[in-house]
Chains A and B, each alone.
Chain A
């Protein structure tokens, strides 16, 4: 089922990632991390901390000023088309095409990902798996709630069946029930061996499902701890302390 990774390299790897924009603002400063297959790495941080910039570099929507983002060992800005074969992406506000039905959206994005043999049955199964009611499958997305669209976006990512998934604040705006469903789904994907990189503001869910959590502030990865390391710590308190600058000198 899963796309096999080359050798045993880390699936997602940021190596000294730095991004400085033309106006000289520093969006990312020497950020490094690794996400292995079957791991979830959550990036926490305020707006403008550099979370989305990191994801944009992995998607090759922007190029790093220095350093490298690698997917399955492939440097994204050097071989973007090859690297993107190994990732799926779910954005904060999944819109997809509002005049397409859920089936039509899934069909388009699956084919775009090179999955040409899927049938309506496959789409139906995935949509049910992500929790989208059957009566909505043939309806245009224009009338969907944010949660329903989010489910479609996740279905698109699942159908691509790539070994790595990038999630950009995927739970923002979801109601508690949809949030729970989402966590369950992420756990399943993780169990399938997917490497998941997620940017989020949701500290509690991040702690619940992540194998590793990083806190980003002003382009720096100021903290990175494993689940085990965080077991006896209050992540929320830690987050507030980092955000308020209490650990600035230590960082």
Chain B
């Protein structure tokens, strides 16, 4: 009986005009997302390779490793083009120096303003906006629609237990949409292979997890729609109610959570922090100049060498103080920012749409963690770069002056840029992304269970007349 009821549900949905239209639009968008993602990846990879080559070319002819103008960039990775997360918002290029703070600049949205206005088409958007609406459209009248049609009476003139009927409703509605939707997803994955997007086995696993999480999210809207259709007598009422709920879940709650968290936990702005740093830096600079003025040679050796050594010591001290001050300020800001972020995420998780977004961006490696990962890996590279400079020149670039002594006469050797250590950005592994997204995946499962239980309990008392 359950099989018959599920089959009926699937057939009824698939044979309806609204399914044919919605499914065609969704399939087209899904395939387009994969195609555009693959193409964008190649374009970005090519731009990245050119920029890296240009970076090395710019070093040609330079005679001292401390004089180079070295930039590192966040390399494009395929999953970021399927679930963009914050990857287009963050600065991609960092001017590398052997000391001090590193600042990432030039986000994708800086370069292509049109995308900043309309954002990219990605799987997050497809599931969160398109497929959740699709779920609402197909299931808003699943129970009350049958009542309006008169088929509910006819069904229950047979020996049909209510629990089996509602279970079949939910499973049938889900399968009717999820199974056909696998086709455009499979075509999309095939496109990735055909368009030579370098997916590792971990990337494939992550992508499968992203799609599975998407279906879990989609399921929560199916169960919610069935639940609402058991709560209301008229299908027009359930549609209206679901539309308002959809707006709240997808558009309002995630944004409102940020505002609520911001009003609860105040975070000092970057400008304010920079102002404080500048004031302190000026103070240190004055002290530094005074210290240089007070230099007195011992008269025992080479004055220049002695001054260079003295200056390096003072630079190091100033650097240390500045770093300590900056670190303290940033730590305070980070702590507040983390508290605000945690609060905002907690509030946002009331909505399945926010949970879904957090889960998939974590799985794709494009969540807020991407900034931290990039910053941490850039800082690690900074140490490697500084060691390389010291190895090559005896010192690294510092915040103070660098005195380069060029001896006259003889051949002047230029540096070989290919000796420069490469910056490799490593993606978080599967276990890391899984542990980061498990809470949100769990929440999506909880929403499914909650709405299912709601539908079940409500339907047991549903007026079948």
In Å, the complex CA distance between A100 and B13 comes to 10
Q: Is A166 an interface residue (CB 8 A)?
A: yes
Residues of B within 8 A of A84 (CB): 156-159
Contact A166 B11 (CB under 8 A): no
A89 touches B159 (CB 8 A): no
> A62 interface residue, CB < 8 Å from B?
yes
Which chain B residue has the least Cβ–Cβ distance from A98?
A: B149
Q: How many residues of chain A have a CB within 8 Å of chain B?
A: 34
Q: Are A61 and B154 in contact (CB under 8 A)?
A: no
Task: List residues of A (52-84) whose CB comes within 8 Å of B's CBs.
Answer: 56, 59-62, 80-82, 84
Chain B residues closer than 8 Å to A81, beta-carbon distance: 159-161
Residues of A within 8 A of B4 (CB): 108, 111-112
A156 engages B154 (CB within 8 Å): yes
Q: Is the beta-carbon distance between B12 and A99 smaller than 8 angstroms?
A: yes
User: Is B11 a contact of A100 with CB atoms below 8 Å?
Assistant: yes
Number of A-B contacts (CB under 8 A): 71
The residues of A that contact B150 with a CB separation of less than 8 Å are 91, 93-95
Q: B153–A61 contact, CB under 8 A?
A: yes
B464 at the interface (CB under 8 A from A): yes
Within 8 A of A (CB), among B122-162: 149-151, 153-161
Contact assessment for A109 and B154 in the assembled complex, using a CB-CB cutoff below 8 Å: yes
B139 CB, min distance to chain A CBs, angstroms? 15
Contact present for A112 and B160 (CB under 8 Å): yes
Are A104 and B155 in contact, with the CB atoms below 8 A?
no
Chain A interface, >50% SS class: mixed
Is the CB of B5 closer than 8 A to any CB of chain A? Answer: yes
B8 in the interface (beta carbon within 8 A): yes
Q: Are B11 and A59 in contact (CB under 8 A)?
A: no
**Across-interface contacts of A140 in B (CB, < 8 A):** 15
A97 at the interface (CB under 8 A from B): yes
Whether B465 and A61, one on each chain, are in contact in the complex, defined by CB atoms closer than 8 angstroms, is yes
Nearest B residue (CB) for A168? B153
| Nearest-CB residue, chain B, relative to A86 | B159
Confirm or deny: A39 has a beta carbon within 8 angstroms of a beta carbon on chain B: no
Which B residues between 1 and 55 are near A, CB-CB below 8 angstroms? 1, 4-5, 7-8, 11-12, 15-17
Nearest residue (CB) in B for A104 is: B11
Question: Quick check: A89 and B157 within 8 Å, CB to CB?
Answer: yes
CA distance A166 to B158 in the complex (A): 12
CB nearest neighbor in B for A62:
B465
Chain B residues with CB below 8 A from A30, complex form: none
Residues of A at the B interface (CB closer than 8 Å) are: 56, 59-62, 80-82, 84-85, 87-89, 91, 93-100, 104, 108-109, 111-114, 140, 153, 156, 160, 166
Nearest 9 CB-CB pairings of A with B: A89-B157, A81-B159, A99-B15, A111-B4, A95-B150, A84-B159, A95-B149, A61-B464, A108-B8
